[in-house]
Structure 1
Amino acid sequence: MEFDVTVEIPQGSRNKYEMDHTLERIRLDRLLFTSTKYPADYGYIDHTLGRDGDPLDALVLVGEPTFPGCVILCRAVGMFVMRDEKGPDEKILCVPAHDPRYGGVQDIGDVPEFDRLEITHFFEVYKDLEPGKSVEGSHWEGRDQAYAEIEEARRRAAQAPAPGASA
Structure 2
Amino acid sequence: MSFDQLPPFRDDGAINVVVETSAGSRCKLKYEAASGAFALGRILPEGFVFPFDFGFVPGTRAEDGDPVDILLVAEAGTAPGCVVPARPIGALTAEQSAKQGRRVRNDRILAVPLVSRQYATLCRLRDMAPALREQIAFFLTSYGVLDGKNLRITGQHGPNTAVKLIRQALK
Do Structure 1 and Structure 2 share a fold, with TM-score over 0.5?
yes
Q: Size of the alignment, in residue pairs?
A: 154
CA shift in 2, pair 1:34/1:123, >3 Å: farther
1:142 aligns with 2:154: no
Aligned residue identity for 2:143: Y
Corresponding letter in the other structure for 1:88 = R
Alignment of 1:104 with 2:121, yes or no, is yes
Secondary structure in structure 2 of the residue aligned to 1:101: coil
Query: What's the counterpart of residue 108 of structure 2?
Result: 91
1:54 corresponds, among 66, 72, 76, to 66
Code of the aligned partner of 2:169? A
Please tell me whether residue 27 in structure 1 is matched to residue 44 in structure 2: no
- Indicate how the Cα distance of structure 1 residues 136 and 108 shifts in structure 2: closer, same or farther if over 3 A, else same: closer
CA RMSD of aligned residues (A): 1.5
Tell me which of 149, 153, 157 is aligned to 1:133.
Answer: 149
User: Unaligned 5+ residue runs, structure 1?
Assistant: 158-167
1:108 Cα deviation from its structure 2 partner: 1.2
1:149-164 equivalent positions in 2, closer than 5 A: 149-154=165-170, 157=171
SS of residue in 2 equivalent to 1:75: strand
Query: Are the equivalent residues in 2 in contact too, given 1:39–1:119 (CA < 8 A)?
Result: yes
Partner Cα separation in structure 1 for residue 53 and residue 154 of structure 2: 20
Query: Displaced runs of 4+ in structure 1, greater than 4 A?
Result: none
1:41 equivalent to 2:53? Answer yes
Partner AA of 1:49 in structure 2: R
Q: 2:152 & 2:126 partners in 1: Cα distance?
A: 23
Q: Which amino acid counterpart does residue 166 of structure 2 have in structure 1?
A: I
Q: Verify: 1:82 aligned to 2:94, yes or no.
A: yes
Q: Secondary structure, in 3 states, of the residue corresponding to 1:102? A: coil
Q: Distance in 1 between matches of 2:79 and 2:57?
A: 16
| Cα drift, residue 126 of structure 1 | 1.1
What pairs up with 1:106-121 in 2 under 5 angstroms?
A: 106-121=123-138
CA distance in 2, matches of 1:10, 1:145: 25
Identity %: 29
Task: Give 1:73's aligned residue.
Answer: 85
